[in-house]
Every structure is written in structure tokens, then in C-alpha cells.
Amino acid sequence: MRTLHLADQDSRDAYIRYVAVRPSAPPERVAAGRPISLRRFIAAGEANTLKALQQQYGDKLGESLLNSDPEVDFELVGKPIERTSTVYLDNKQQVLRFAPDVVEVILDPSGKETDRREPIDRLPNIAEQLPIRFTKTRLNRNAAVRRFVFTRTLQLWHNDGLTYEYLFDIAKELHDSDEMVMVAGGERLKDPLIFQLNGLPWRAFLEGRINSIGYCLLLHLSNLELKALPT
């Protein structure tokens, strides 16, 4: 189990384990009673892609397809693709022998490029010395589900009796107030949560539940608001 460093509104902090909450696995696909699986295979050789054929045959491509099947490479087609390595080709179609430089392109909602710059790595911030902490932003649960799309949920787990009490108390306080509290990182509590190097930045809200069995403390993650699309 992975770990995050959490501090509550009283600055009490602890390293807490968490797991992703997931739906049950989708049903198994079968054909004629036998299990089946999705596999990749080679469908065309390098010289048989549409682009290559258009270059080679030009206007006579249709005729050639009918007469000589140039789109099929009998040596290659059907070969299963198992493990592969990513490679990059330069503008002369040669494999690069060294890691390429990378530029970061910023696109606006219509897909138009607005900026181009050197990329800056996003560092993880959830299990550092400075804990992620409660902000002053609280929303009741109904308002939260109508404002944000929560696409990932993590369940926080206690490590021992002390962290059980710590998490139970947080869950109880949130359950009783029917509220979710936003947690954030950084000195000024402005930073979204980043779980791994160059991971997605998430806005995160803690939600708590208790019953006669125990507690359920969930960290709901969102990177999308329920807003109207631009027209």
C-alpha cells in the first residue's frame, strides 16, 4: 500500500496508507464457451500503409488494390505484437540512438497552439516532509457532487490504533457536518496533489462516513468541473 502524509485542521499529522477504490471487474468475454482476449497484431508492413501506397501508386492506387493486393505484406501481416519498446524516428525516418529533446505545447480548448516552452517536471507532493493539509474550503456533499467530477477515489487506511483514532475522528467530524474538506499541498496550500513524477494534478476533497462497524474516509480526486462547454 502506498502512503501519504496528512495533517488535519489542528496540524496533527500522520503518514497514512491508501488504496484506490475501484468497481468490480467487467464480465469476462467468451466465444463458443471459450475465454477470449484482445490482442494486437501487425496489419500492414511499413511499405503497405495507406500513406506509403498513396506515394507509390498515386492516382492508380484503386486499380492496384484490385489487381495486385499491394496492401498486404504476407511476411508480416497477422504477426502477433507482444512486448515492444518505444522508439523515436527523426525527420529522415531514422531511429534516434539517444533520448530526444522535448518541447511542451500548450493548446487552448479549440485545439489551437497558444504557447511552446521547455517542459518543467511536476514533482510528487503527497508523501513529503511538508504534509498535505486541510484548507478552509468546505463544501457540503450535495454541492460538491454538483460542482466537481470526481474521477478517482482513494480510501485511507489506518496503520495502528493511533492512526485508527485519528482517521475515525476526521471521518466522524465530516460525517456529522455532511461536509467535504479540500486538502492541498505547498507552503500556501495552493498546490493540487501530485501522486508521482509528472502525474496528473488533482484537486482533492476528504469525505468521511461512520457507522456501527467503523469508519470510511475517502479522498475524492477531481480535475474537471461541471461547467458548460464553450460554444
Partner 1 sequence: MAKPVILIHNDIASNFQLQKLERSKLYGCKRRIPVDEDGEPCVRASLTEDGEVIILSGMAAQGWFDDLGRQVEASEIGAQSSDGIALELVLSTLGVSQPLEGPVSPMEVLDLAVSSVYQLTADTISDELAASLTSGEVWRFRFNYRSDFLAETAYLLANDAGIFALIGQPATAPYLQLNAIPPVEAAEGEDTEDVDFEML
Which CB atom, from 134 or from 195, has the smaller least distance to partner 1?
195
Which CB atom, from 130 or from 226, has the smaller least distance to partner 1?
226
Nearest C-alpha neighbor of 148 from the set 206, 201, 208, 220: 220
Least distance from C-beta 5 to partner 1, angstroms?
17
The b/e string for 150-160 (b: 16+ C-beta within 10 A; e otherwise) is bebebebebee
CA pair distance 185, 200, nearest whole angstrom: 14
- State which H helix or E strand residue 144 sits in: helix 141-145
Q: How far apart are the first and last CA of the chain?
A: 44
Which CB atom, from 11 or from 103, has the smaller least distance to partner 1?
103
CA pair distance 81, 41, nearest whole angstrom: 5
Least distance from C-beta 120 to partner 1, angstroms?
10
Which CB atom, from 134 or from 205, has the smaller least distance to partner 1?
205
Least distance from C-beta 224 to partner 1, angstroms?
5
Least distance from C-beta 208 to partner 1, angstroms?
11
User: CB-based burial of residue 217 (10 Å sphere; 0-12 exposed, 13-18 middle, 19+ buried)?
Assistant: buried
Least distance from C-beta 56 to partner 1, angstroms?
15
Q: With beta carbons less than 8 A apart as the criterion, state whether 140 and 208 touch.
A: no
Which CB atom, from 101 or from 187, has the smaller least distance to partner 1?
101
Least distance from C-beta 130 to partner 1, angstroms?
20
Which CB atom, from 116 or from 136, has the smaller least distance to partner 1?
116
Least distance from C-beta 21 to partner 1, angstroms?
5
CA pair distance 137, 227, nearest whole angstrom: 19
Contacts of range 208-212, beta carbons closer than 8 Å, 24 or more positions apart: 208/170, 208/171, 208/172, 208/173, 208/174, 208/175, 209/171, 209/175, 210/168, 210/171, 210/172, 210/175
Which CB atom, from 11 or from 109, has the smaller least distance to partner 1?
109
